[in-house]
C-alpha cells in the first residue's frame, strides 16, 4: 500500500511540479518588466535552490550534516524504502531552502544596486560565502590536496580560452576571463587534485577562489535598463518552451554521455586519471595488437582464399565488359546493369575475403555493417521494384515485412532453431541441416533407391515428407533428378544470354553468362560426388554430416548477419517501395515515349529519383547495425570469433567490471555512429529547408 502511495504521490508531484514550473516560469518572466527586484529574487532563489540541491546529491560533500541527519530524524532509524523516499524529498528541501534564500538575497541586492562598485562587492562577497560553505561541507575523504602544476596549468589554459572567447564573441574581457578562470580553478583544484589528501585550507582555496571569480563576473554585469528587461522577457519564452525537452535530454542522454566520457579516461575502478590508456588498450596490448579487437594474424590466408580467386575474375570481367562497351560509346567505361552487378559481386567476394581473414570485434563489426547494409538495401530495393504493381504485391510485402515485428532476441531464437545441428547418429532437427543432410543423402549416390532396396526406409536418410523427393516413386538414383534440375537452370541462363546477345552488346549478356556457371557447377558436382551434408562411414552407410553454422568460423559471422538481414530487408523494402510509388508517372511515361525499356526506366529514372530515400535507408541501417548486440548475445555469446563491439562493451563493463575499457568501447561505438547520424540530420535539415 505504501509503495502504491509513493507511486501516486510521485506521479502527482511530478506532473504538478512541471505544470507549476511551466506556468510559474511564464509568470516569473512577466515580472521582468513589472518588478525587476521581485523577478531577480525569484530567479536567484531558483538558481540557488538548484545549486544546493545538486550539492546535496553530490557524493563529494558530507552527508553527515544535512542529508543523513535529516533522513535519520525523519525515518526514525528505519531505512524502509517509502519512508526514505519522503525523507529524501524533505532533505532536498532542507538543503535547497538556504540555497534559495542566498540566491534570492544576492539577486535582490543586485537588482537594487546600480553603481558598479557595490555591485562588484555584493557579487564577490556572495561568491566567497558560497565558496566557504562548499569548502566546509566537503567530505573528509575527498578534501582536495592541491597540486600546483595542474592547478596553474588548468587555470592558465582555461583562462586563455576565456580571453579568446571574449574576443571572438565580442564579450567584455574581464568578466568572461574571470568566469573561465573560475572554471579552470575548479578543474585544476578539484578535478585533478589528490582527493582526500588535502586540508581544510586547501579546500577553501579550491572553492573560495572560483567562488570569488564567479561572483566578480556576476557583480560586473551592469544593471539592466527597461530595454534590456524586455529583451530578457522575450528571450526567456524560448527557454520556457525548450526547458522540459532540454531537461529530459540532458538527464537521460547528455549527462550519462559525459559521465561515460569521464569514465573512459579513468582507470577500471574510476579512481585515477589514465588519459587515453583505455583507448590504447582497446587497440594494442603489450606492444601487440589487441587480438580481441584486431586480430591480423591470419592476413596471409587472404591469398589462398577462394573468395579472392572468385572475386578477382568477376571484378575483372565486369570492368572489361564495361570498358569494351565504353569503346563503342567513346567513354572510358559504360556500365550496364549486368556488367555492374558482376563487378559488384566481385567486390563483395573480395570484401568477404578480406573480412574472413581479419578477425576480432572491430573487423567483425565492419563486416556486419558492410554485409547487412548492402544486402538488405539491395534485397529491399529488388523486392520493392519487382513487386511494384505486380499481382499479390501486398501479400508478398507483408510476408517480407513481418520479421520487422519480431524483436532481435525473438528472431535470434528462431534462427537458432534453423541452424541447430545434431549428432550424426540422430536425424537432424535444425531446418537448414535437415535440408542439407537430405540433399546429401539423395545426391551422394550412396543412399539406396527404391528399385534396388525394396525394404528401403526413407526415414533413415532424412525424410522431408515430400513424396517424390523421398524416392517413393523413383527407381533410378535421385541424384540424376537433381542433375537434371541444375542442368535445366544452366541451359535456361544460357538461352537468355543468347537471346540477349542478339539485341544488346556484351554488357547485356555478361550477367546471364556468369549466372549460368552456378547451376552448371552444381550439376557437375551433383553428378560427380554429390552435394549436401553426408558422410560415408567405413561400413559404407551414409550418415548426415551437419554444418555447425554457429561454431565454425569465420562464416559463422555471416550466419549471424543473416538474422539481421532478414529483419532489415523488410524495413528497406517498405521505405523504398513508398519512394518508388512516389516517382511521378509523367517522368516514366516520358521516358517510355522516348523509347526507354523497363530496365532503363528503372536505372536511369527511378533510381535517381529515389536516391535520397536510399540514402536515408542506408544510413539508418548503418546506425542500427553498428550497434548490433542482441543477436550475437543470444546466438553465440560472442564465442567462436563472433564478438562485436557492443557485446564486448557489455562484457567488459558488467561482467568483468572494467568500467574504463567498457566506457572507452562505448565512446568508440558512439564516435563511429556519429558521422552517419550527422549526415542524416544534415540531409533532413536540407530537405526541410527546401
Is position 9 an interface residue for another protein (rule: CB under 8 A)? Answer: no
Is position 112 an interface residue for another protein (rule: CB under 8 A)? Answer: yes
Please, which residue, 283 or 498, has the CB nearer to another protein?
283
Residue among 89, 261, 285, 333 that touches another protein (CB under 8 A):
285
Give least dist CB 65 to another protein, A.
Answer: 4
Is position 66 an interface residue for another protein (rule: CB under 8 A)? Answer: yes
The closest of 360, 368, 362, 347 to 298, measured between CA atoms, is 360
Number of H helices, E strands in the chain: 26, 6
Which grid coordinates are listed for 471? 524416392
Residue among 84, 192, 221, 422 that touches another protein (CB under 8 A):
422
Please, which residue, 484 or 637, has the CB nearer to another protein?
637
Q: Which of residues 24-53 bind another protein (CB under 8 A)?
A: 52
Q: Which of residues 212-271 bind another protein (CB under 8 A)?
A: 268
Please, which residue, 398 or 429, has the CB nearer to another protein?
429
Is position 412 an interface residue for another protein (rule: CB under 8 A)? Answer: no
User: Stretches 213-221, 474-482, 546-554, 567-575: which one binds another protein (CB under 8 A)?
Assistant: 546-554
Please, which residue, 122 or 618, has the CB nearer to another protein?
122
Give least dist CB 64 to another protein, A.
Answer: 5
Is position 421 an interface residue for another protein (rule: CB under 8 A)? Answer: yes
Q: Which of residues 157-186 bind another protein (CB under 8 A)?
A: none
**Rounded-to-integer distance, Cα 364 and Cα 360, Å:** 6
Instruction: State how far the alpha carbon of 2 is from the alpha carbons of 7, 15, 39, 47, in Å.
Output: 9, 20, 39, 33
User: Stretches 94-102, 140-148, 220-228, 614-622: which one binds another protein (CB under 8 A)?
Assistant: 94-102
Q: Which of residues 330-349 bind another protein (CB under 8 A)?
A: none
Give kind and range of the element (H or E) at residue 535.
strand 534-536
Handedness of CA 15, 18, 21, 27 (dihedral sign): negative
Please, which residue, 61 or 667, has the CB nearer to another protein?
61
Please, which residue, 188 or 546, has the CB nearer to another protein?
546
Is position 551 an interface residue for another protein (rule: CB under 8 A)? Answer: yes
What residues have CB less than 8 Å from 632, skipping those under 6 apart?
560, 638, 642, 643, 644, 646, 647
Which grid coordinates are listed for 544? 548426415
Which grid coordinates are listed for 298? 591470419
Q: Binders of another protein: how many residues, by CB under 8 A?
A: 63
Please, which residue, 101 or 614, has the CB nearer to another protein?
101
Q: Which of residues 475-534 bind another protein (CB under 8 A)?
A: none
Is position 108 an interface residue for another protein (rule: CB under 8 A)? Answer: yes
Give least dist CB 141 to another protein, A.
Answer: 12
Residue among 57, 65, 467, 584 that touches another protein (CB under 8 A):
65
The C-alpha cell 574581457 sits at 173
**Rounded-to-integer distance, Cα 420 and Cα 51, Å:** 58
Is position 562 an interface residue for another protein (rule: CB under 8 A)? Answer: no
The C-alpha cell 532396396 sits at 453
What residues have CB less than 8 Å from 492, skipping those under 6 apart?
none
**How many Cβ atoms are within 10 Å of 620's Cβ, its own excluded?**
18
User: Stretches 13-21, 123-131, 602-610, 612-620: which one binds another protein (CB under 8 A)?
Assistant: 123-131
**Rounded-to-integer distance, Cα 515 and Cα 493, Å:** 7
The closest of 333, 342, 351 to 315, measured between CA atoms, is 342
Own/partner pairs for 28-32, CB < 8 Å, 24+ apart? 29/232, 29/233, 29/236, 29/237, 29/240, 30/233, 32/229, 32/230, 32/232, 32/233, 32/236
Residue among 191, 546, 660, 662 that touches another protein (CB under 8 A):
546
The C-alpha cell 511521378 sits at 584
User: Stretches 5-13, 95-103, 185-193, 567-575: which one binds another protein (CB under 8 A)?
Assistant: 95-103
**Rounded-to-integer distance, Cα 15 and Cα 434, Å:** 58
Is position 651 an interface residue for another protein (rule: CB under 8 A)? Answer: yes
Is position 287 an interface residue for another protein (rule: CB under 8 A)? Answer: no
**Rounded-to-integer distance, Cα 626 and Cα 363, Å:** 11
User: Stretches 98-106, 245-253, 336-344, 570-578: which one binds another protein (CB under 8 A)?
Assistant: 98-106
What string of DSSP letters covers 607-659?
Answer: HHHHHHHHHHHHHHHHHHHHT--HHHHHHTTTTTTT--HHHHHHIIIIIS--H
**Contact of 107 with 40, CB cutoff 8 Å:** yes
User: Stretches 61-69, 312-320, 465-473, 515-523: which one binds another protein (CB under 8 A)?
Assistant: 61-69
Residue among 42, 87, 92, 133 that touches another protein (CB under 8 A):
133
User: Stretches 458-466, 611-619, 649-657, 682-690: which one binds another protein (CB under 8 A)?
Assistant: 649-657
The closest of 373, 379, 415 to 396, measured between CA atoms, is 379
Give kind and range of the element (H or E) at residue 167.
helix 148-168
Is position 124 an interface residue for another protein (rule: CB under 8 A)? Answer: no
| Contact string (CB under 8 A) for another protein, positions 627-646, x = contact | ------x---xxxxx-----
Residue among 286, 304, 330, 389 that touches another protein (CB under 8 A):
286
Is position 109 an interface residue for another protein (rule: CB under 8 A)? Answer: yes
Give least dist CB 250 to another protein, A.
Answer: 19
**Contact of 420 with 433, CB cutoff 8 Å:** yes
Is position 70 an interface residue for another protein (rule: CB under 8 A)? Answer: yes
**Rounded-to-integer distance, Cα 75 and Cα 62, Å:** 19
User: Stretches 28-36, 91-99, 159-167, 349-357: which one binds another protein (CB under 8 A)?
Assistant: 91-99
Reduce the DSSP state of residue 173 to 3 states and report it.
helix
What string of DSSP letters covers 555-606?
Answer: THHHHHHHHHHHHHHHHHHHHHHHHHHTS-HHHHHHHHHTT--HHHIIIIII
Residue among 245, 655, 671, 690 that touches another protein (CB under 8 A):
655
Is position 137 an interface residue for another protein (rule: CB under 8 A)? Answer: yes
Give least dist CB 644 to another protein, A.
Answer: 14
**Rounded-to-integer distance, Cα 302 and Cα 300, Å:** 5
Give least dist CB 549 to another protein, A.
Answer: 9
Residue among 36, 43, 99, 610 that touches another protein (CB under 8 A):
99
Give least dist CB 630 to another protein, A.
Answer: 13
Residues forming contacts to another protein in the complex (CB under 8 A) are 52, 62, 64-66, 69-70, 72-73, 77, 79-80, 94-95, 97-99, 101-102, 104-106, 108-109, 112-113, 118, 122, 125-126, 129, 133, 136-137, 268, 285-286, 291, 420-426, 546, 548, 550-551, 553, 633, 637-641, 650-651, 654-658
Amino acid at each position: 500500500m505504501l509503495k502504491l502511495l509513493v507511486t501516486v504521490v510521485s506521479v502527482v508531484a511530478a506532473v504538478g511540479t512541471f505544470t507549476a514550473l511551466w506556468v510559474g516560469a511564464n509568470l516569473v518572466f512577466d515580472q521582468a518588466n513589472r518588478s525587476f527586484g521581485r523577478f531577480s529574487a525569484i530567479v536567484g532563489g531558483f538558481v540557488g535552490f538548484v545549486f544546493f540541491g545538486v550539492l546535496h546529491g553530490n557524493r563529494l560533500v558530507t552527508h553527515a550534516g544535512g542529508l543523513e541527519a535529516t533522513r535519520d530524524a525523519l525515518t526514525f532509524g528505519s531505512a524502509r524504502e517509502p519512508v526514505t523516499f519522503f525523507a529524501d524529498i524533505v532533505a532536498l528541501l532542507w538543503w535547497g531552502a538556504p540555497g534559495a534564500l542566498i540566491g534570492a538575497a544576492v539577486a535582490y541586492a543586485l537588482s537594487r544596486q546600480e553603481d558598479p562598485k557595490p555591485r562588484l562587492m555584493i557579487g564577490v562577497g556572495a561568491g566567497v560565502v558560497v565558496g566557504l560553505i562548499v569548502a566546509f561541507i566537503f567530505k573528509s575523504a575527498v578534501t582536495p590536496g592541491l597540486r600546483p602544476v595542474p592547478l596553474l596549468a588548468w587555470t592558465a589554459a582555461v583562462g586563455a580560452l576565456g580571453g579568446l572567447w571574449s574576443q571572438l564573441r565580442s564579450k567584455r574581457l574581464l568578466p568572461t576571463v574571470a568566469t573561465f578562470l573560475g572554471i579552470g580553478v575548479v578543474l585544476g583544484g578539484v578535478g585533478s587534485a589528490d582527493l582526500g589528501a588535502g586540508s581544510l585550507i586547501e579546500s577553501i582555496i579550491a572553492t573560495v577562489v572560483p567562488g570569488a571569480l564567479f561572483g566578480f563576473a556576476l557583480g560586473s554585469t551592469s544593471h539592466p535598463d527597461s530595454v534590456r528587461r524586455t529583451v530578457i522577457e522575450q528571450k526567456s519564452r524560448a527557454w520556457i518552451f525548450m526547458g522540459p525537452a532540454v531537461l529530459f535530454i540532458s538527464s537521460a542522454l547528455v549527462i550519462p554521455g559525459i559521465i561515460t566520457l569521464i569514465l573512459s579516461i579513468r582507470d577500471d575502478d574510476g579512481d585515477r586519471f589514465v588519459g587515453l590508456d583505455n583507448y590504447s588498450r582497446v587497440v594494442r596490448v603489450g606492444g601487440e595488437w589487441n587480438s580481441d579487437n584486431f586480430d591480423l594474424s591470419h592476413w596471409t590466408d587472404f591469398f589462398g582464399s577462394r573468395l579472392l580467386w572468385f572475386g578477382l575474375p568477376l571484378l575483372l570481367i565486369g570492368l572489361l565488359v564495361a570498358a569494351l562497351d565504353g569503346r563503342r560509346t567513346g567513354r572510358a567505361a559504360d556500365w550496364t546493369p549486368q556488367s555492374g552487378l558482376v563487378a559488384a559481386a566481385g567486390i563483395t567476394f573480395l570484401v568477404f575475403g578480406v573480412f574472413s581473414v581479419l578477425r576480432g570485434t572491430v573487423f567483425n563489426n565492419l563486416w556486419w555493417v558492410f554485409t547487412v547494409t548492402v544486402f538488405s538495401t539491395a534485397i529491399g530495393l529488388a523486392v520493392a521494384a519487382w513487386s511494384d504493381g505486380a499481382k499479390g504485391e501486398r501479400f508478398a510485402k507483408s510476408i517480407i515485412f513481418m520479421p520487422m515485428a519480431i524483436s532481435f532476441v525473438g528472431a535470434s531464437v528462431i534462427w537458432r532453431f534453423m541452424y541447430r545441428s545434431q549428432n550424426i547418429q540422430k536425424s537432424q532437427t535444425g531446418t537448414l541441416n535437415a535440408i542439407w543432410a537430405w540433399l546429401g543423402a539423395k545426391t551422394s549416390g550412396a543412399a539406396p533407391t527404391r528399385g534396388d532396396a525394396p525394404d528401403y526406409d526413407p526415414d533413415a536418410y532424412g525424410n522431408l515428407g515430400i513424396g517424390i523427393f523421398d524416392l517413393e516413386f523413383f527407381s533410378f538414383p535421385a541424384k540424376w533428378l537433381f542433375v537434371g534440375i541444375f542442368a535445366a537452370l544452366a541451359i535456361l541462363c544460357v538461352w537468355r544470354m543468347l537471346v540477349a546477345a542478339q539485341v544488346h552488346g556484351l554488357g547485356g549478356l555478361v550477367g546471364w553468362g556468369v549466372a549460368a556457371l552456378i547451376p552448371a557447377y552444381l550439376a557437375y558436382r551433383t553428378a560427380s560426388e554429390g552435394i549436401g551434408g553426408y558422410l560415408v562411414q567405413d561400413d559404407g552407410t551414409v550418415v548426415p554430416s551437419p554444418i555447425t553454422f554457429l561454431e565454425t568460423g569465420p562464416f559463422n559471422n555471416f550466419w549471424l548477419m543473416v538474422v539481421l538481414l532478414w529483419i532489415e530487408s523488410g524495413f528497406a523494402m517498405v521505405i523504398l517501395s513508398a519512394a518508388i510509388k512516389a516517382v511521378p508517372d509523367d517522368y516514366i511515361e516520358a521516358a517510355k515515349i522516348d523509347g526507354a525499356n523497363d530496365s532503363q526506366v528503372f536505372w536511369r529514372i527511378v533510381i535517381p529519383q529515389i536516391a535520397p530515400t536510399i540514402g536515408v535507408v542506408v544510413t539508418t541501417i548503418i546506425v542500427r547495425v553498428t550497434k548490433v548486440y542482441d543477436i550475437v548475445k543470444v546466438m553465440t555469446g560472442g564465442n567462436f570469433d563472433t564478438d562485436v563491439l557492443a557485446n564486448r562493451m557489455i562484457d567488459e563493463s558488467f561482467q568483468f567490471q572494467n568500467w574504463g575499457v567498457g566506457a572507452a568501447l562505448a565512446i568508440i561505438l558512439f564516435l563511429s555512429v556519429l558521422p552517419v547520424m550527422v549526415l542524416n540530420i544534415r540531409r533532413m535539415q536540407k530537405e526541410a529547408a527546401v
